[in-house]
Amino acid sequence: MSQLSAENAPKIGFIGFGAMASRMGAHLTKAGYAVTAYTPTGKSSAPSVRMIDSPRHLAQQTETVIVCVPDDEALAASMYGENGTLAGMKSGAMLINTSSVSPEATAELAAAGEKAGITVLDAPVSGSTPEAEAGTLVILVGGATDDVAKAQPIFDAIGKITIHAGPAGSGARLKLVINGIMGAGLTALAETVAYGLAAGLDRTMLFDALDQVAVISPHHKRKLKAAKNGNFAPQFPGRLMQKDMRLLLDAAAREAVPVPTIAATTQMLSLGRRQYPNEDYSALIGIMEKIVANDAGKRK
């Protein structure tokens, strides 16, 4: 989008300003928006952004609020109550929820927004911190067509593609589908890499070979390269991926859809979250490698 002048810069407030949101905020600032933020700690990884002391006060000072929090509980804590975001928003304002939360929490927020005369879009993003840094996220939006069009300049500033998934709630559901594929794929890699190592394949050859084959996605090849070097710096923390698997497992059960692969994936990622909750979810590859190495040592 074209650069906006300082005098008429639209005001955007972020609820939650961690690794993903701070990068989105930087792109919006470059596009000419005036960005403020609220976090429960009052701290931000972007010192140049002005921090506000409550969700309500932030909402009172901005025209659009973007929510980027980790789970249903954090969403409820920041949205509702006398100091919540909804209490400070004016009728006609827009609330964009980029959080990965349950369909039930998404529906509750949409209903509360409608009651208050606020436009609510569920717009979780596909991509991790590298995509947020590059401004190449894929935005998955649920909401009315006209409302999505109004928010398009914001989406254009933070992402490369906007997918209008359907009416309210559709973005949240599509996000669960995508993350389910990510989680199951990573779990399959962790298990099969462990088999290869246990069977005596050379470690370097194995990781390099997997980097060359078409059956593995670019996302998972990036995870394999990091695992080869033992680098599990969090681009997508294990606690968040395991949370998304749990949400998908519950959502599928509500639709009576059998998802045994997702159930097994959730258990494996629970192991990863238990041991390395704040490392990247690909740490599961390292966990499985360690199990194999320990077992090999016991057999000698």
pLDDT per residue over 273-299, tens digit each? Answer: 999 999 999 999 999 999 998 765 455
pLDDT band at 6 (very low <50, low <70, confident <90, very high): low
pLDDT band at 112 (very low <50, low <70, confident <90, very high): very high
Tokens of 116: 């208050």
Averaged over 185-193, what is the pLDDT? 97
Averaged over 16-21, what is the pLDDT? 94
Q: Is the pLDDT of residue 5 over 80?
A: no
Q: Is the pLDDT of residue 1 over 50?
A: no
CATH top-level class of 174-299:
mainly alpha
Domains of the chain, by residue range, sit at 11-167, 174-299
Averaged over 205-233, what is the pLDDT? 96
Q: What pLDDT was estimated at residue 300?
A: 46
pLDDT digits (tens, 9 = 90+) for 81-97: 999 999 999 999 999 99
List the beta bridge partners of residue 67. Answer: 15, 97
Averaged over 242-249, what is the pLDDT? 97
Q: What is the 8-class DSSP label of residue 237?
A: B
Tokens of 154: 């914001």
Fold of 11-167: Rossmann fold (3.40.50)
Strands (E), 93-195: 94-97, 119-122, 125-126, 137-142, 159-166
pLDDT band at 7 (very low <50, low <70, confident <90, very high): low
Strands (E), 64-127: 64-67, 94-97, 119-122, 125-126
Averaged over 260-275, what is the pLDDT? 97
